[in-house]
Amino acid sequence: MAMATVATAQLPVYLDDSAPIEQRVEDALSRMTLDEKIAVIHAQSKFSSPGVKRLGFPDFWTDDGPHGVRPDVLWDEWEQAGQTNDSCVAFPALTCLAATWNPVLAELYGRSLGEEARYRGKDMILGPGVNINRTPLNGRNFEYMGEDPLLASRMVVPYILGLQSTGTAACVKHFCLNNDEEYRHQVNVVVSDRALREIYLPAFEAAVKQGHAWGIMGSYNLYKNQHCCQNEYTLNQILKGDWQYDGVVVSDWGGAHDTEMAVKNGLDMEFGSWTDGLAWGASNAYDAYFMALPYKRLIQEGKFTTRELDEKVRRVLRLFFRTTMSNKRARGFLCSEAHYDAALKIAQDGIVLLQNKRNVLPIDINNAKRVLVVGENAIKMMTVGGGSSSLKAQHEILPLDGIKTRLAGTGIEVDYARGYVGDTTGNYNGVTTGQSLADNRSASSLIGEAVGKAMNADYVIVFGGLNKSDYQDAEGHDRKQMDLPYGQDALVEALARVNKNVIFVNISGNAVAMPWRDKVAAIVQGWFIGSEAGKALASVLVGDVNPSGKLPFTWPVNLNDLGAHALGSYPGTWRPDHKIIDEEYKEGIYVGYRWTDKQKKRPAFAFGHGLSYTTFAISNLRLDKSEVSADGTVTATVTVKNTGNRAGAEVIQLYVSDVSGNVDMPVKELRGFQKVTLQPGESREVSITIGGRAFQYWDEGKNNWTTSLGQRTMLVGTASDNLPLKAKFTVK
Ligand code: BGC
């Protein structure tokens, strides 16, 4: 049989899929002109950078992040592009993901988001965020994963792996020390090396070393007097030096400030100059970016060779081969049932039952006749607002609608009273909720109406908390105090006086003050949980889903229960020229429960706390050895039994207390955890293995991790304030 043959020209190495990526990078680099190299290291529009068209590299598209794929804005303006195919699934905010304590769901989250990003043609998602929750005032905590470095590390890694499995790059943010928003462009953080390494960096380190993140975003703030997007210490020495990071450092939008610093101090891709990513700088001349013509000129003048430039371009090319040039990428799909299911499951797993007196929850649907829902947050969309994480959700089920739908057909009457008026506007960056929430009644008449209706209700479910407006849970500013806004305290107090079954559902990404805590029956932490919010909340309130979320941060009674406030170091001290504000993290490593433990303070709700509708017994802690070498591991095993009559999940938490006396150590630190689901009566052995960093601290003298040899106590239980099982071991 005769066969036609086609002559195939030899593919250049950079286009050869089977060649090792580093060879492809070098080959592509060798073919690029100076202008092409300069072009790929800075933006060409609000969210994209050019590829190298001559060589077949397409444009590179980034987008926020981290809770869904942000709707498209115009090429050069912050206005909406007006697309009709950019509505997305809004996934729960990352605080809720962290509250699941379930790494499997973090992978599902990342993968689902990546599939949405692929459909939308985005090559990099600007997220996830892992800045440590140091103060509940931080306007952006809702986008982060709580206060504990181990929890955040364990949750961020699978998120990244899931996201990047679709060929979409993660851009882990904001590196680093961006722990509050007020004056975020001017804050110079002063922190001990030990706190930096033990508290603020581990989640980033895990993202790089275990998650193999392809992108990292520098933060706006300064550290050691250098902005973190152009920082010799954090970018060159730690990230690219110590951690051997091979991905790109992306500036936060407008985070670059100076050509020479950016060139020398580790920035690889400059975005959003002359804009803070939120508002101003509608139209820019991209050629004037710090790493555009000004850089090219310095090279032409001989101030720089192309050494730094080639190093940056190598990283960018590596990114291209991982994403836009990869043949293995997922196609992606948008707003699929699978993605809604993922969003729902994560929300249900992350909702935290904080308090449940007399087992008032779940709602007894067989006997209840009237349920009163109160509060603006029962009817307010939360996916619009909050800054760059704002979304155009295809749908968002509101709490009141979720409850009505769930209770339809049960014969239970659901009534609603507004209770308070908060912020009735609903738009962000050209996306409007279309809701009309205006209500001109006075506070006393709103409370009066709610109280009147509450008298005859079997249950009063108040949806309150914060929202995504400025100075609430929103980017760019912090809250001004921990108190609930809009007169909610008076409302709750009044309701609790007339009804013993008041359930407060707090919608927020942060702890709030609850002076009436003991007067209400139940408190549920409902987070910002996106598209399926109302459905998820209703399923937990009626008991279709047994809550299993655990707090990813310490919930203080008031601000002074935390080091940042007790020591007066927040928000910092302005220098005389009023250009820089120094914020010294005086509490050092004593953040969150590490602080409350040390001060022997009882928080309102402890880190790791979260109740269930069933009960669990944990017993019989066994260690596989009582002495372990510094480079060895020790495995703890416990028996967990569901002793109630509903299926449920519990998070077994393992903390270690270093009692060797070698060095100043927190009372205890989380070193491992595992979530287990058990049927009524079922029991299971749960084993958790620890080693390595779990035995170490950052030794400032040696400038390295050091094992503290000696005695340890292992503490195992179901919350940081409920650790009944203890065992001793020694690190030799
Ligand atoms: C935010 C980033 C965001 C960027 C782009 C900035 O203002 O800090 O988190 O990714 O804008 O929208």
CB 628 within 8 A of CB 730: yes
Ligand 1 atom nearest the C-alpha of 47 is 5
Closest-CA residue, ligand 1 atom 6, reads 277
CA of 253 to the centre of ligand 1 (A): 6
Ligand 1 atom nearest the C-alpha of 219 is 8
Residue 127 to residue 40: CA distance in whole angstroms: 21
Ligand 1 atom nearest the C-alpha of 388 is 12
What's the pLDDT score for residue 713? Answer: 98
Any atom of ligand 1 within 6 Å of the Cβ of 65: yes
CA of 433 to the centre of ligand 1 (A): 21
Question: What separation, in Å, do the N-terminal and C-terminal C-alpha atoms of the chain show?
Answer: 75
Ligand 1 atom nearest the C-alpha of 70 is 12
What's the pLDDT score for residue 717? Answer: 98
Any atom of ligand 1 within 6 Å of the Cβ of 273: no
Q: Classify residue 448 by burial, with Cβ atoms within 10 Å: 0-12, 13-18, 19+.
A: middle
CA of 316 to the centre of ligand 1 (A): 20
Q: How far is CA 313 from CA 31, 32, 248, 267, 445, in A?
A: 12, 10, 9, 11, 63
What's the pLDDT score for residue 279? Answer: 67
Ligand 1 pocket test: pick from 144, 249, 278 the residue with the most ligand atoms within 8 Å of its Cβ: 278
Any atom of ligand 1 within 6 Å of the Cβ of 252: yes
Any atom of ligand 1 within 6 Å of the Cβ of 173: yes
Any atom of ligand 1 within 6 Å of the Cβ of 64: yes
CA of 543 to the centre of ligand 1 (A): 38
> Which two tokens mark 249?
């450092």
Give phi and psi for 654, each to the nearest 5. Answer: -120, 120
Any atom of ligand 1 within 6 Å of the Cβ of 278: yes
CA of 45 to the centre of ligand 1 (A): 14
Domain residue spans in the chain?
13-73+86-322, 351-547, 614-732
What length is written for the chain? 732
CA of 288 to the centre of ligand 1 (A): 20
> Which two tokens mark 155?
């949750």
Closest CA to 611 of 566, 550, 554: 550
CA of 35 to the centre of ligand 1 (A): 27
Q: What would the DSSP string read from start to end of 541-552?
A: HHTSS------S
Closest-CA residue, ligand 1 atom 9, reads 388
Closest-CA residue, ligand 1 atom 8, reads 252
What's the topology of domain 351-547? Rossmann fold (3.40.50)
Ligand 1 pocket test: pick from 72, 253, 389, 470 the residue with the most ligand atoms within 8 Å of its Cβ: 253
Ligand 1 atom nearest the C-alpha of 171 is 10
Closest CA to 187 of 174, 198, 197, 199: 174
Q: Flag residues of the chain having pLDDT under 70.
A: 1-9, 279-284
Active site (annotated) includes residue 276: no
Ligand 1 atom nearest the C-alpha of 64 is 10
Task: For domain 13-73+86-322, give its CATH number from 3.50.50.60, 3.40.30.10, 3.20.20.300, 2.60.60.20.
Answer: 3.20.20.300
What's the pLDDT score for residue 662? Answer: 86
CA of 67 to the centre of ligand 1 (A): 13
Residue 94 to residue 80: CA distance in whole angstroms: 25
Any atom of ligand 1 within 6 Å of the Cβ of 126: yes
Ligand 1 pocket test: pick from 185, 252, 269, 391 the residue with the most ligand atoms within 8 Å of its Cβ: 252
Average pLDDT, the chain: 96
Residue 183's contacts (CB-CB under 8 Å, 6 or more residues apart) are: 571, 572, 581
Any atom of ligand 1 within 6 Å of the Cβ of 254: no
Kindly state the greatest CA–CA separation across the chain. Answer: 93
Q: Is 348 helix (H, G, I), strand (E, B) or coil?
A: helix
The torsion angle over the Cα atoms of residues 136, 70, 385 and 94, rounded to 10 degrees, is -20
Any atom of ligand 1 within 6 Å of the Cβ of 277: yes
Ligand 1 atom nearest the C-alpha of 220 is 8
CA of 191 to the centre of ligand 1 (A): 24
Ligand 1 atom nearest the C-alpha of 126 is 10
Any atom of ligand 1 within 6 Å of the Cβ of 255: no
Q: How far is CA 496 from CA 450, 517, 519, in A?
A: 11, 10, 6
Residue 389 to residue 377: CA distance in whole angstroms: 19
Any atom of ligand 1 within 6 Å of the Cβ of 73: no
CA of 321 to the centre of ligand 1 (A): 25
Residue 79 to residue 240: CA distance in whole angstroms: 36
- The 8 Å CB, 24+ separation contacts for 272-281 are 272/43, 272/46, 273/42, 273/43, 275/46, 275/78, 276/185, 276/220, 276/476, 277/252, 277/253, 277/388, 278/78, 278/387, 278/388, 278/429, 278/475, 278/476, 279/78, 281/254
What's the pLDDT score for residue 583? Answer: 98
CA of 438 to the centre of ligand 1 (A): 30
Closest CA to 481 of 116, 182, 117, 163: 182
Closest-CA residue, ligand 1 atom 7, reads 277
CB 677 within 8 A of CB 724: no
What's the pLDDT score for residue 5? Answer: 54
Q: How far is CA 351 from CA 348, 535, 544, 650, in A?
A: 6, 12, 13, 13
Residue 3's contacts (CB-CB under 8 Å, 6 or more residues apart) are: none
Any atom of ligand 1 within 6 Å of the Cβ of 308: no
Any atom of ligand 1 within 6 Å of the Cβ of 388: yes
What's the pLDDT score for residue 284? Answer: 67
Domain 13-73+86-322 identical in fold to domain 614-732: no
Any atom of ligand 1 within 6 Å of the Cβ of 198: no
CB 118 within 8 A of CB 66: no
Which alpha helices (H) appear in 390-510, and where do they start and end?
Answer: 399-407, 443-454, 488-498
Ligand 1 pocket test: pick from 46, 64, 184 the residue with the most ligand atoms within 8 Å of its Cβ: 64
What's the pLDDT score for residue 4? Answer: 56
CA of 319 to the centre of ligand 1 (A): 20
Q: What would the DSSP string read from start to end of 621-635?
A: EEES-SEE-TT-EEE
Which of these is catalytic: 72, 252, 276, 597?
A: 252
Closest-CA residue, ligand 1 atom 3, reads 388
Which of left, alpha, beta for 679 (phi over 0: left; psi -120 to 50: alpha)? beta
Any atom of ligand 1 within 6 Å of the Cβ of 276: yes
Q: Classify residue 689 by burial, with Cβ atoms within 10 Å: 0-12, 13-18, 19+.
A: middle
What's the pLDDT score for residue 44? Answer: 95
> Which two tokens mark 595?
């602080």
What's the pLDDT score for residue 204? Answer: 99
Closest-CA residue, ligand 1 atom 5, reads 277
CA of 233 to the centre of ligand 1 (A): 22
Ligand 1 atom nearest the C-alpha of 129 is 9
Ligand 1 atom nearest the C-alpha of 174 is 9
Spelled out in words, what is the top-level CATH class assigned to the domain 614-732?
mainly beta
Q: Classify residue 101 by burial, with Cβ atoms within 10 Å: 0-12, 13-18, 19+.
A: buried
